[in-house]
């Protein structure tokens, strides 16, 4: 009876340690997943705006709302999966969760595959947007449609700025944990316990900045995104009908 109690106590302690580590890592995984899924959703919104501007203006609020729901759903599912996998898989964590990437190998593989898939999808989506704009720009010039040509040129420049922001922020997001892991690996065990949680919060902050850079690139998308958590659409934005295809 005593041995069984000790065994159960040890098992519960391991589960508690796994859950504690999972909840400590959750902000970073959620922010990183949210930033990528938001970039993909925003890219899809821009692709529709470029390819079908008239239909997009007629249904822009519905499209933005659907995109915002998708951008919320992916990171929530991703974070929930992390909690489940870390609870069910054998413990492969560094003691006290001191590693910046202290997760099970199974989830780490799934997370990397998902990130690679989202990154490729983002590249394809934004490339499609730029190609669509270029084709429309050539057609407008050939037909001497000066106003359409200027509008498409402005949209093209905006897309290039968004792509530069995405590339820069994603590079920072990828470099931060790698640099931190090198620094933490060279520290004594006692200092790792103290510095590990601080570094993880810095990673979460980095991911959060990455996330809000995307969020600020589209007014319609931003309104729809906040609408999903209960905020109402402002009356100012309802009067603007051409903003989404600028």
Flag whether 218 is in a domain: yes
pTM assigned to the model: 0.59
Burial of 37 (0-12, 13-18, 19+ CB in 10 A): buried
Residue 18 falls inside a structural domain: yes
pLDDT value of residue 46 = 79
pLDDT for 92 = 47
User: In the prediction, which pLDDT does 87 show?
Assistant: 58
* pLDDT at residue 237, as a whole number: 44
Range of the structural domain that residue 225 is part of: 2-112+172-245
Q: How many domains does the chain fold into?
A: 1
Residue-by-residue DSSP string for 7-73: HHHHHHHHHHHHHHHHHHHHHHHHHHHHHHHHHHHHHHHHHHHHH-HHHHHHSHHHHHHHHHHHHHH
Residue 24 buriedness (CB in 10 A; 0-12 / 13-18 / 19+): middle
pLDDT on residue 246 = 40
HSE of 114 in the Cβ direction (CA atoms, 13 Å)?
Answer: 21
Nearest Cα to Cα of residue 103 among 187, 8, 208, 32: 32
Is residue 231 assigned to a domain?
yes
Relative orientation angle of helices 189-215 and 2-51, to the nearest 10 degrees: 30
In a domain, 80, yes or no: yes
| Structural tokens at position 58 | 């007629």
In-domain check, residue 157: no
Is residue 70 within 8 A of residue 229, CB to CB? The reply is no
Other beta carbons within 10 angstroms of residue 153's beta carbon come to 14
| 191 in any annotated domain | yes
In a domain, 142, yes or no: no
Residue 187 lies in a domain: yes
pLDDT under 50: residue ranges of the chain: 91-96, 98-104, 234-246
- What pLDDT score does 149 carry? 64
């Amino acid at each position: 009876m005593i041995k069984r109690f000790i065994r159960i106590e040890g098992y519960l302690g391991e589960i508690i340690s796994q859950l504690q580590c999972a909840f400590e890592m959750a902000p970073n995984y959620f922010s990183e997943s949210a930033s990528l899924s938001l970039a993909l959703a925003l890219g899809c919104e821009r692709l529709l705006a470029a390819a079908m501007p008239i239909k997009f203006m007629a249904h822009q609020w519905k499209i933005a709302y659907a995109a915002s729901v998708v951008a919320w759903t992916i990171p929530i599912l991703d974070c929930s999966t992390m909690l489940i996998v870390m609870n069910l898989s054998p413990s492969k964590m560094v003691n006290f969760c001191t590693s910046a990437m202290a997760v099970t190998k199974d989830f780490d593989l799934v997370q990397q595959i998902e990130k690679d898939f989202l990154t490729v999808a983002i590249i394809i989506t934004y490339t499609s947007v730029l190609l669509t704009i270029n084709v429309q720009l050539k057609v407008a010039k050939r037909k001497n449609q000066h106003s359409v040509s200027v509008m498409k040129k402005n949209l093209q420049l905006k897309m290039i700025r968004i792509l530069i922001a995405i590339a820069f922020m994603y590079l920072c997001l990828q470099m931060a944990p790698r640099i931190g892991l090198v620094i933490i690996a060279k520290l004594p065990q006692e200092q790792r316990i103290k510095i590990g949680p601080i570094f993880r919060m810095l990673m979460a902050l980095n991911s959060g900045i990455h996330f809000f850079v995307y969020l600020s690139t589209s007014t319609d998308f931003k309104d729809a995104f906040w609408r999903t958590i209960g905020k109402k659409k402002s009356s100012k934005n309802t009067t603007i009908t051409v903003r989404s295809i600028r």
